[in-house]
Amino acid sequence: MAGSKIQRDPFGKLPDGRDVERIVLRGAGGFEARVITYGAVLQALIAPDANGGHDDVVLGHDTFAGYLAERKFFGATVGRYANRIAKGRFSLDGERVQLAVNNGPNALHGGLDGFDRKLWEIAEIDEGPAPAVTLIYTSPHGEENYPGKLDVRLTYRITGPTELSLLMEARTDQPTIVNLTNHGFFNLEGATSGTSILDHRLTVAAEHFLAIDPTAIPLPEPPRAVAGTPFDFRIARPVGERIREGDQQLCNGRGYDHTYCLRRDGKLALAARLEAPRSGRVMELLTDQPGLQVYSGNYLDGTISGKGGKLIRQSDAMCLEPHIWPDAPNRPDFPSPRLDPGGVYRHHTVYRFAARAP
């Protein structure tokens, strides 16, 4: 409907015949967020540039077939545990849990068939001044071998003229672990621009990061100071300025693929700022999570095509994923991912866009 802040359309079908829908949320001046029910994926995010134009700034696919064919997490909701768990093992109340190992020797992003591969249900559509869609998914006890039935509720909402809010909540019927995130792949010059993000300027509000081993599991040491290292983004720097320095941590991650340690008070605060030099787009990311995974697209290798038929290559996108620290179930010194009956897991992230003359 013309002028409507919400649009709901078919987007495809699963092999079993179930329908996948796309919901478009509209802000001001052409700002849009497009969400599909498969994987609760942020399929497109249309943001203004400094010249009065608009473009999609998240990588992914134009049609559902691309999401179904390749599991690359483009814009997906990741769970039950985002990031990695060493050897896929952890103990909970004395019980050993063994997860599927799907990333070298480790478990990654919820296992072989995580939340990114599930069909979520539309629970509510809000057509008010702050348009929103709420999606729900129930993960049964034992899914991917995680304990407890987990009821997940996720709301995408336009909370400002060019601002998208993501609120995730989860409840369980027995002790479990939970760590959710959105895995958006951002290129603020545009998803089909064919440009690298290495000249994007990045700021991260963190004084420490987690050093990793060659399998991307945090080392058994306290967080390292960013000062004096290529990981210092406390002031804005181009992503590629020091990415080729001979630092062992850059070797282990093949670039940036590390968790930055944010404040732990659970309050929404600025975590990162990303600026594009040509379009003038600026994205601020605010979150209440204790960590931010900064990933410079190191494993994108040109083997698949994305929107506009463009091949997706190394450093074509930047991921900024707020969540609890990786391998936290095995690290009592890390923020805890434990969730008990009666408790509520809560994750709030905001993507705030602006544009300034380059």
Cis amide linkage into residue 80, ω under 30° from 0: yes
Distance CA 120, CA 118 (A): 6
- Residues 24, 37: contact at Cβ < 8 Å? no
User: Which pLDDT belongs to residue 98?
Assistant: 98
Report residue 191 as tokens: 């998803």
Please list the residues that pair with 350 across neighbouring strands: 165, 286
pLDDT (0 to 100) of residue 1: 43
Is 275 labeled as catalytic in the residue annotation?
A: no
CA distances from 5 to 20, 24, 39, 349 (A): 20, 8, 23, 21
3-state DSSP assignment of residue 202: strand
pLDDT tens profile 296-324: 999 999 999 999 999 999 999 999 999 99
> Which spans in 135-262 are helix H?
248-253
Instruction: Give phi and psi for 218, each to the nearest 5.
Output: -55, 140
Sign of CA dihedral 116, 118, 123, 124: positive
What is the model's pTM? 0.97
- The pLDDT of residue 122 is 98
**Among the residues of 34-188, which ranges form H helices?**
64-69
Nearest to 11 by CA among 136, 167, 122, 161: 122
How confident is the model over 77-130, as pLDDT tens digits?
Answer: 999 999 999 999 999 999 999 999 999 999 999 999 999 999 999 999 999 999
CA distances from 225 to 100, 185, 286, 321 (A): 33, 26, 22, 20
Task: Tell me the torsion sign for CA atoms 195, 32, 42, 241.
Answer: positive
Among the listed residues 32, 144, 275, 321, the single catalytic one is 321
If you compute the radius of gyration of the chain from its CA atoms, what whole number of angstroms results?
19
Rounded Cα distance, 43 and 207, in Å: 32
Pick the catalytic residue: 109, 183, 200, 348? 183
- What pLDDT was estimated at residue 64? 97
Residue 348 is a catalytic residue? no
Q: Going residue by residue through the chain, which has 358 residues, state the pLDDT in tens, using 9 for 90 and above.
A: 446 899 999 999 999 999 999 999 999 989 999 999 999 999 999 999 999 999 999 999 999 999 999 899 999 999 999 999 999 999 999 999 999 999 999 999 999 999 999 999 999 999 999 999 999 999 999 999 999 999 999 999 999 999 999 999 999 999 999 999 999 999 999 999 999 999 999 999 999 999 999 999 999 999 999 999 999 999 999 999 999 999 999 999 999 999 999 988 889 999 999 999 999 999 999 999 999 999 999 999 999 999 999 999 999 999 999 999 999 999 999 999 999 999 999 999 999 999 987 7
CB of 100 within 8 A of CB of 112?
yes
Judge whether 170 and 343 are in contact, CB under 8 Å.
no
CA 51 to chain centre: 28
